[in-house]
Amino acid sequence: MAVYDDCQMKRMRQEAIRRSQEMHSRAAHYTQGGDRADKPVQPEIPPPPQSSGGLLSEITGSLDGDRLLIGALLLLMLKEGRDMRLILALGYILL
């Protein structure tokens, strides 16, 4: 364990106070709209490429998420041969 004399302790306190004041002045300068050169520049993210308009996007383009989910459920129920009344009810909802 290091033992410090009064002179060293006083010097360390003054250094800590000076660093604290410097940090506060930098923060105040930054929040008051000062030079923001210290802030790292974030690279611009390019937008995702647009689809070329394939068949699937043409079919599902006018459908929202709920309609797609009901349509998928309707197709599964038709494939499995489930209750025809429920299949017709789902088809009616899609209209």
User: Where are the chain's structural domains?
Assistant: 1-34, 63-94
Look up tokens 């459920």; give the residue: 73
Contact call for residues 94 and 72 (beta carbons, < 8 A): no
Contact call for residues 63 and 71 (beta carbons, < 8 A): yes
With a pLDDT cut of 90, the percent of the chain lying above it is 16
pLDDT tens figures, 41-70: 667 777 666 655 566 666 666 667 788 888
Query: Taking residues 30-34, what's their average pLDDT?
Result: 70
| Res 82 pLDDT > 60 | yes
Residue 50, pLDDT score: 64
